[in-house]
């Protein structure tokens, strides 16, 4: 007997971002927020009310935004530089490269509303290239928290550990997927379900969808291991290689272009060390049509059904080719 699943409670990770930043700022006066007229969209109203001097709004000027962040870090502050993902990483990529990463400064870059969260506003406002762009920059850590608890933990880690990091702060509502005591660590993933048949490595908004796909596959007798890869750089290569050894193939799923994000990072490791069949789910060098964020995720097959279909396809092909 099947039962219609109850709709899980979902959260906007920006709230966890805003609350955690205030808590961090209460305990450490070096913490400042830097934004580009994005007080509202970064949920920084509360921060501004409590720390008016420590919210630096440079106006609509992203190059200045990141440079000012690097200068604040040079002056002993810990800046959380917050702007919509597409503008932060697109407009200011050279500042991210030279002022933050190459200069090796303690700047926390917070890309708000990443992926296709801005839906109908269109591809100019989508941040699906950010992972590819930032992965190309040496020395920059990249984190894509999957839920509020992981967002909070990633922020705390970023405040405490000097060095450049880019955090994606999700806007699209997501259910809680991690254990409540999840501890973000660069280079470490969280295995959410065990499975022997195949592995789904997902990040951000796609993690809960990967879990739903695994549940659907289980009813068909297929067990899927689901790994939440919040740390894109550095990647948890050990978990990736173990999964490739212990299961029959790997699927990656991300709300980003397939040319350079999580899928590319995982493929890079596997193809050189432990080649296995792979499917890379994301957006394949296309600008999205008009649609809500939810519609667009469906449009590009970034759903539980899409992931499950890719899994069946991978296992069928693998069976046909008689690899085992």
Could you list the residues that contact another protein (CB under 8 A)?
Answer: 32, 34, 53-54, 56, 58-59, 61, 63-77, 79, 94-95, 98-99, 102-105
- Nearest CA among 247, 204, 248 for reference residue 228: 204
Considering the complex, what minimum distance in angstroms separates the CB of residue 82 from another protein? 15
Tally Cβ neighbours within 10 Å of residue 49: 10
Considering the complex, what minimum distance in angstroms separates the CB of residue 35 from another protein? 12
Nearer to another protein, 52 or 221 (CB): 52
Nearer to another protein, 78 or 266 (CB): 78
Considering the complex, what minimum distance in angstroms separates the CB of residue 50 from another protein? 15
Considering the complex, what minimum distance in angstroms separates the CB of residue 72 from another protein? 4
Nearer to another protein, 30 or 299 (CB): 30
Nearer to another protein, 99 or 129 (CB): 99
Nearer to another protein, 70 or 281 (CB): 70
Tally Cβ neighbours within 10 Å of residue 7: 7
Considering the complex, what minimum distance in angstroms separates the CB of residue 56 from another protein? 6
Tallying the residues shown for the chain, one arrives at 324
Considering the complex, what minimum distance in angstroms separates the CB of residue 133 from another protein? 16
Nearer to another protein, 82 or 105 (CB): 105
> Do 155 and 25 form a contact (C-beta atoms < 8 A)?
no
């Amino acid at each position: 007997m099947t039962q219609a699943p109850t709709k899980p409670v979902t959260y906007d990770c920006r709230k966890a971002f805003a609350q955690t930043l205030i808590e961090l700022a209460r305990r450490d006066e070096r913490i400042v927020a830097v934004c580009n007229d994005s007080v509202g969209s970064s949920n920084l109203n509360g921060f501004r009310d409590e720390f008016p001097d420590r919210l630096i709004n440079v106006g609509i000027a992203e190059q200045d935004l990141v440079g000012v962040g690097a200068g604040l870090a040079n002056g002993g502050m810990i800046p959380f530089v917050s702007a919509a993902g597409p503008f932060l990483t697109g407009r200011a990529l050279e500042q991210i490269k030279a002022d933050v990463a190459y200069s090796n400064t303690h700047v926390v870059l917070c890309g708000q509303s990443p992926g296709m969260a801005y839906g109908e506003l269109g591809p100019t406002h989508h941040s699906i290239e950010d992972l590819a762009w930032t992965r190309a920059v040496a020395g920059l850590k990249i984190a894509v928290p999957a839920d509020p608890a992981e967002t909070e933990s990633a922020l705390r880690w970023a405040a405490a550990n000097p060095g450049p990091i880019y955090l994606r702060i999700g806007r699209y509502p997501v259910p809680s997927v991690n254990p409540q005591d999840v501890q973000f660590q660069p280079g470490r993933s969280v295995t959410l379900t065990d499975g022997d048949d195949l592995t789904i490595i997902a990040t951000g908004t796609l993690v809960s969808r990967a879990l739903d796909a695994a549940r659907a596959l289980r009813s068909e007798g297929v067990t899927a291991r689901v790994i939440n890869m919040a740390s894109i750089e550095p990647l948890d290569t050990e978990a990736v290689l173990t999964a490739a050894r212990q299961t029959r193939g790997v699927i990656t799923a991300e709300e980003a272009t397939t040319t350079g994000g999580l899928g590319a990072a995982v493929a890079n490791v596997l193809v050189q060390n432990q080649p296995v069949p792979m499917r890379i789910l994301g957006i394949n060098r296309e600008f999205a049509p008009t649609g809500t964020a939810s519609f667009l995720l469906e449009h590009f097959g970034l759903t539980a059904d899409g992931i499950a279909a890719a899994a069946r396809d991978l296992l069928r092909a693998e069976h046909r080719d008689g690899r085992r």
